[in-house]
Amino acid sequence: MCRLFASPGLLLTLVSLSPAAEPAWAAPMRQAHSHFKGVPGTLALFGDSITNTLAFWAPLQWDRKGMDEATLKAYERVKARLQPECWQKWRGPTLGNESGKTSRWAVENMDTWIKKLNPEVAIILFGTNDLAGITAKEYETNLRSLVVACLKNGTVPILTTIPPRSGAVEKSRQFAEVARKLAVDFKVPLVDYQAEILKRRPDDWDGTLPKFKEFAKDAYEVPTLIAGDGVHPSNPAKFKDFTEEGLRSNGYVLRNYLTLHAVADVMREFP
């Protein structure tokens, strides 16, 4: 729909009032979801220790301090649909998440997890452990296999880029590019966790930096986005809130925030 407005100089300007375009993944994921035969509101969390920990996703049930209006609305949308057990009970190797695991392990077990859980939506974040011995090419092949398994089941996958890793920055960037590429290829949603970390802390995301040495006794208390081990997201108690400062000082709060919005956006597309 368009309207004509007269400017003070009597010139007519054509102003488009058409709504913003929907995400590129929206229509393809509605189509994929039309084949889903499971329980609405089921959410699988596929990943390694960065996903297995209860610092991820579970705290959203009770810890929403500092959320803005849009984030609170996203939470309410997810809460209204999500099965209660999917906040924190779907944890462990038989449910698709375990410390130290790689995308190879995920490929070997994905069909079993899908059959057992039959999730409506699946968060996928593997790759941090892959950095030690898996090439970007194999990582792409493995991640592609995980996405295909989800889509064949009618499960909507949400890919997540791995966080930057101290000492493996360039390879972690290559892996993030793989996830971005596959999100475009398959037209699936993406949480670009790495990009958000680098945007918010471009120069000091790494908790191993000398400026954070006072937090060496508790690596997770470092007030930046990657913990003092250089690998995992940080989780300082002082910044467990969704204010702008919290989102740039607590790695798990940032991941929870980004994932919540992604899941809410996906669920908005469901009947």
Write down the pLDDT at residue 20. Answer: 67
Give dist(CA 139, CA 168) in Å, integer. Answer: 15
Write down the pLDDT at residue 21. Answer: 85
Structure token pair of residue 1: 């729909």
pLDDT digits (tens, 9 = 90+) for 229-242: 999 999 999 999 99
pLDDT digits (tens, 9 = 90+) for 121-134: 999 999 999 999 99
Mean pLDDT, the chain, whole residue set: 93
Q: Which of 251, 268, 271 is closest to 74 using CA atoms?
A: 268
One-letter amino acid of 241: D
Give dist(CA 241, CA 228) in Å, integer. Answer: 20
Q: Provide the 3-class DSSP secondary structure of residue 191.
A: strand
Write down the pLDDT at residue 232. Answer: 98
Per-residue pLDDT, averaged over 61-73, amounts to: 96
Per-residue pLDDT, averaged over 175-198, amounts to: 98
pLDDT digits (tens, 9 = 90+) for 136-167: 999 999 999 999 999 999 999 999 999 999 99
* Domain ranges (residues) in the chain: 27-201+253-268
- Has domain 27-201+253-268 been given CATH number 3.40.50.620? no
Instruction: Examine the pLDDT at 176 and tell me if it is beyond 80.
Output: yes
pLDDT digits (tens, 9 = 90+) for 6-44: 344 433 333 344 456 899 999 999 999 999 999 999 999
The pLDDT-based confidence of 2 (bands split at 50, 70, 90) is: very low
Give dist(CA 9, CA 86) in Å, integer. Answer: 60
Write down the pLDDT at residue 187. Answer: 98
The DSSP bridge pattern shows strands 156-160 and 190-191 to be parallel
